[in-house]
Structure 1
Amino acid sequence: MRLHRLEVAAFGPYVHRETVDFDALGADGLFLLHGDTGAGKTTLLDAIAFALFGKVPGARGQDKPRLRCDLADAESVTEVVLELTVQGQRLRIVRSPEYQRPKRRGDGTTTQQAKASLTWVGPPPQGHPQDGLTRIDEVARTVQRLLGMSAEQFFQVVLLPQGEFARFLRADTADREQLLEHLFGTRRFGDVERWFRELRVRRGREVDAGKQAVREWTARLAQAAGEEPPENPGAPGEEWLTELRSRVAGQVAEAEKAELVANESRERADRDLQERRTLAERVRRVRAAHARLAEVAEQAEDRARWTAELAAARRAATVTDVAAEADRLEERLRQARRAEEDRVRLVRATAEDTEETAAEVPDLRARAGVLREEAGALAGLVAEAEQQDHDERRVAELATMAEEATARAAALAAERDALPERIRGLRTERDRAAEAEVGLGGLRPREQELTASLVEANRLPGLTAELERAGEAERAAVDEHQRVRQQLLDLREHRLNGMAAELAARLDSGSPCPVCGSAEHPTPAKPVDGSVGEQDERAATELEQVADRRRQQAVAARHEADAALTAVRERLAGRTAEELDRLLTEVRAEIAGLAETAGRKPHLERAVAEAEAKAEELSSRRAEAERRAAAAHAERTSLAAQVEERRRRLTAARGEHADVAARRAHLVSVLEALEALAEARSARLGVEERLAEQRTALREALAAAEFDSVESAREAARQPSVLTELERRLTEARTAEAAAQAVLAEPELASISPHTEVDLETAVAEANRARAEAESAVSAHRAAVHRERNVTELAGHYADAVTELGPAEAEYAELDALTDVVNGKGQNSRRMSLRSYVLAARLEEVAVAATARLRTMSQGRYSFVHSDAAGSRGTRGGLGLDVLDDYSGSVRPAKTLSGGESFLASLALALGLADVVAAETGGALLDTLFVDEGFGTLDAETLDIVMDVLDELRAGGRVVGLVSHVEELRQRIPTRLRVRKARAGSSLELVA
């Protein structure tokens, strides 16, 4: 950052606009800003800070400072203008503070709002408007972004206030921490500290919630067990939980024992009831068995008849089934013979040799096999015959394609050969149109010039007449003004002549005369006829002023008319309207011809492009047609040879048939007919053989069933449903009789009489009572078991809650201790927070950077020593700053330094801090620095050393401004800016 120019107006002690040329001041790299105390030296530094950031540094910037000059008049505007270069961009900042000014109408004051603007001297950076910025917030953001540092950092690294750094040397940890935090932007570490504190609060709430959960599970355990919860509000002991579970388990054991007793009583009652029910059931079964035997005895005759009918039907079934099968085989034999006859006729119709119809089945199948092999050999030739037809058609198509492609190529070649001549003609016309377009561009301005000149020539008579009228009006206005002016002069002369009478008219008796001062007026002058008064003179003066304005207007009008006429004549250069009209007609005719020719240029360009594209297309199409003709001819030659060779093989294979497929179809039909005949003959022989066997089986079945004939067997036969019904009746009768006998034969029923009576009601009542008692005992046991299950489940939840609470409490304890450490408490022996630790590291860097200059300025005696030890009475540490005295080898507080030594230390500290902050923020290169006061405490030798250090800064390309009233500095620094103090306000003087 380099400053170029500063302007202040009505700012601080400066009433008028004062300008500081930093380019002239910093030409030598070092300049002195001096003046009387209170003259306004520091105000110039405030102006620089205000222009950049809208506020001033130090205590002067607190409580809304008054920046307006108290001596400035109401119309003066308070503003600061600063030109500087930052990151290669030169900019101009204009800023005005808010202040009170008198109202333009009425009494009182009004608030003049603050303003700010930023404009670029040269082209603006990319993304910024050309006209600059006018909003205060936009100006602030842009300046801070270009400088790379905040206002507080700028005040410390550019405007080095020695008094503040002297206080910094002697400040306590809290004050140093506040300053360093502003400079190095360590608020994020404070955010980390706050994050730890907030996390500790959240984890504490979670631990409290865990404890509450343990208390809730304790209460639910006691409620589930039917007991009162323990008085201890925290987690109860393991002994309480063990006793609780033991008591619940004892309740379960007692309920289980009561349930066993009740169940035994119920089982006894159930056994008695079951015994009585068993006896009653046995009596019922005995009575039912006797009743069933009586029913069976009544059906004896029907059972004998059913048995005989069923036996005859079963014997007849063995004959009827065989007879039915024999009938079916006779019908199949008749069908087989008819089918064989049909196959014989088919063979005779297809085969050449009809004697084959009498052959045996093996001979027929052998002959069919021979024919199948021959037909199979012809299958491949059938496909070739189909391919032969396709290939013959393809040969003809290829011949046609070759002829058509050859003819097409010849036609395209002829069309292509005719295009070059046409393309040359189109190009010639296109070039002519382009030349016309160029010529047209040169004639258009000529036409416009001639048109404008013709208009001017046509205006010439009117302008001449207007000039004559303006001249006449001017002469008339001059004459009228002279006349009115002469009347005014005459009128004034008359009034002067009668002035004594006018003064006498104003005299009062006893009042002093305004001329001689006498209070007596013995012979006052008398007005004469035709005297002139003040009103008459004022009216004449107004008439003279009106006439003079008219004269001036007439003179101006005449001058304008003369200037307009002269300008037109100069532009025409002696050319007449007739000459201009002739030239314009010629130019327009030439333009029309060229415009017509040039207008055809787009059409001609398209025509040339289309013709060239068509030529390329025709060449491509002709090459494609020739390629297709060659390909078709080659394919036809190859395919024709294949067709001829295949034709010879197919002619030999078809024999006397129309083609190979016809011969193969004939062979297939013959072999299929022979195979069908063999199948039919084989089937007929099989049926005859089975029929003979079935007839033998029928005779044997009649003999075995003891029937004389098939008809008698069929008469004895019954339908399956009838047989099923007979079998069911007999089976039911036998089953009922056997079941009744079996019941009566059972050992437990042997002593049972059908007349025995059994009492069930008493046993049922006793069983119901015992069952109710058992169910009540079961419910009590289940309730106890359910209680035990709930207690066990809740005990698990309780254990989980206690288990979760333990690590949470441990984590919270660890977090609590870590939060205290981060915030400089607890086990943090140095009492340094995280933010203080970071600031301590930065302060250590500052101490290292400042030591290099302090050792030089103190001739190797003093060095800064950074201390991170805790303060007294447990206060925070880490920001201690002492000095090492090389003479004594001891470290002592900075407060023990003398005045001059304190100045050297504070200056070294300011320069070191400026370097570290600039490097930390990555800000713009600081080419301009100001060192404010403190040089009066140095001796001559030390001052030389300090000046050498400042020369080092200047040698690095910086401009250093020293603010001091020390007389010796005026002798050492040739370039000075003097601030003069006066009652009317301060002013500036550049001394070089």
Structure 2
Amino acid sequence: MRLHRLAVTAFGPYPGRVDVDFDAVGADGLFLLYGDTGAGKTTLLDAVAFALFGTVPGARGEAKRLRCDTSPATTTTEVRLELTVQGHRLRLVRTPEYTRRKRRGAGTTLQRGSVSLTWLDHPGGQGVPEGLTRADEVGRTVQRLLGMTHQQFFQVVLLPQGEFARFLRADTADREKLLERLFGTERFADVERWFRERRRVARQHLDEAAGQVHEVVTRIRQTAAADPPGEQPVSEWLAALRRDARARESEAREAERRAVVLRDEATEALARARALAEACQRRDELQASWRSLEEGRGDRDDWHRRRAAARAAAPVSSAEQHRVRLEAALDLARRDEAAALAEAVPHGWSPEGGDDPRTAADRAREEAGTLAPLVSEEARQLSDTRRLAELAGKVRVEEDQLAELADRSALLPAELAEARVGVEEARSASARLDGLRLRRRELAGLLADARGLPGADDALRAAEDLLRQRVDAHQAARQDLLDVRQRRLAGMAAELATGLVGGEPCAVCGSTDHPAPAEARADPVTEDEELRATSQEERTGAARQVAIAAVRDADAEVRRLRERLGEWTEPALAEELAGVESEENKAESVVSEQADRERLADRLEAEQAALHGRRTLLEAALAATRAEHDALREVVRDRDERLLAARAGFAGVDERRAHLLGLAGSLSTLADAAAERASATDRASEATSAVELAAAGAGFPSVPAALGAALDDAEFAALESAIEDFDRREAGVRAGLADVQAAELPDEAPDLTAAREEAEHHQRAADDAVAGTRDAARIGRELAELGAEWARADAALAPVRAAFDELDALTDVVNGQGQNSRRMSLRSYVLAARLEEVAIAATGRLSRMSQGRFSFVHSDAGGSRGTRGGLWLDVLDDYSGQVRSAKTLSGGESFLASLALALGLADVVAAETGGALLDTLFIDEGFGTLDAETLDLVMNTLDDLRADGRVVGLVSHVEELRQRIPSRIRVRRGREGSSLEPEGC
């Protein structure tokens, strides 16, 4: 991938358009990007990333604030990038989503983001589309051509030295996260999770199978009421239980047989004793019954005489009953006639009037018939009267409603006008609110800078004081070093003279004669003293450089604050901010009521339209109600005159008609009752004569004598039943006594208690024996069934357990546990291999930049307390021959190691992803920690990259780099924004 041109408009700190021609500035393969802190050097790298992927690295991408705040509203934020990748030349144009001020009117609007990709080397007609405009299509195309994601691109093309220094010193967990992001090893993590999920499912199956075996063993233990021995196999324990069950069943069956024999013998003995006792009891009862019959023979003869008399008096009793019924019917007819007369008299009829009751009844019915049509008219009159009252009330209600609507219609226009004024006020406040908020945030930032300016001045003065102290200390240490070296040189001859030996050549001149050796000084300087002075000079020199950097940073901060504040003072900013905040609060309060005000206006407008329609409908309804009321009033008046004549003094026509119908009914009932009373009198006289004739014919001297001998049906049936029962008992007792005398029974009945107790005892014993046999047989059957069930469950458990054990061991190995001695998961193993490749690739560059002193050492050993291994990265120091932790490197050494690691990682990631050759790299900061000699080595390494055809862009403040790199781009910062100045290209 090689970059050609970059154009940035209203992006970051650049308010207008700035262009970077990478072909021109990178013609030598190396260029420098420098400028003030915060001027926007890194923003150019962000623009490259945004053009490619639509996002920028780190926290700047999270903020999603890419537009320049000082750009005019008419200027569109845009990034254009031309590059060549995989042999294709492309142009990418992206616009971020941002909020801008409206071009017309107040307020802001949302500017939507856009993107386009144009193929510059494939015109239409060659099977390649001229361009793409959908964000997802552009993203997939860029990622396919580059062969890496935006995270990988940020890490291997835009080399952030701070992040690689942290990576160099990170623990294995943090290092693992970065490597995963770069090498895309998520699929190996998916494999680990797949194994863990398979193991979880297999464990569930194993638990289910083991649970079934355990459940069967529990049921066996409950059935046999015995626990299995601790070491004995379940199969042997189950076989022993079944043998014991069969033995218990045999014993129970033998006990049952003996108990049944004893029970049958006792049952037979009890039956014989019970039969003899019952026969003796029967004999005693028959003898007592015979004696009772002898005593009741006189009663039986009397019963025969009474039955004969009752049979003779039966016809007389029947005639008497018929006469009594007729006399009762005569009394009832007389009462009905009296009641009918008492009912007819109150209705206005009198027996002295001479009218026949039936004739008067016919006349009353005829008059009631003429009143029938008027009854329905009277009911209609009541309904119409109620309706007339309802219509009068309805007229009053509708008149009141019409008056209320008129009053509301008069007030509504003023309320609606007031509501519309409130809506316009809220909309105006809403349009001004965003501007007020932006102004408040700007003033708040300026006020914070104004309040921080005194502290920045104090910090600058303190840094200058410290710099003066450290300059003095460094100059004193340098002077001490010069003095020590001078004294060391002065005493060097005496030091060499001490080593001369007569006859041996001098180490300086080679002479074997030593005529005048120099004498030692009184205060000789040793090599250790010179080393201590040198070390002190270096420490004070380093402290001086730190102080210089602190003064430079403090001065830059003070200048930044003063340039930002301009003529503003803290009191003026505070006063201006308070005014803006007050205006903003008022606008927010009004805006918060905007929805309510709009709803009120809408409601009043709807109410106004509804009022007009309701008034029209109500006026029409009132006219119809009044017309209906007047018409109904005339009808009610005419009908009332006809009904008044028909009532004839009664409360209503229906009441008078009911009176006439009641009179007709009463007179008809009176006529029928008189006829029935005459007929009942004749029948009663005939029945009295029939009773007297029946008594004389039956031979009784009088009717009362015949009635005294008569019996009713129940008494006669009871008398015959008593006679038949006596005869039947006598025959039965006589036959029973004959059978008893033939049986020759003993005088005393046998005792049944002992025989019954013996039989019950043997019955209980037999029942218990039968129950024991059944329990023993049941236990045997259940043990046989459970044994077969256990065998099936145990056979099913074995392959499940074997499969789980195999999967469990394999899952542990894949996840860095169990038999995995290195404690490395599959993912860590892959990352360790990649890290080893990175260490090999980075070692060549690190060794060259450190003149062969340092090289990377990768270790796959496990860490302490079970920490997973595979991601340890240390440094071998060739001076001491010891492997050192990267955390022990100095600042300059850390920069060299980080740069080598970043370049090596870039090469490995590009090769791993199969992406495009990275012809353009950017290195952001870190050169300020290097001395001149080390900087030469680093530049040589960068020359190697340049010799391979790559273009390397450096982002740095280091002054010496400006002297070494002729092709430069300077970023200038101003109050209105930043700008670019190409130098040497």
Give the TM-score band, short-chain normalised.
0.3 to 0.5
Q: Higher Cα Rg: structure 1 or 2?
A: 1
* TM-score, with length taken from structure 1: 0.45
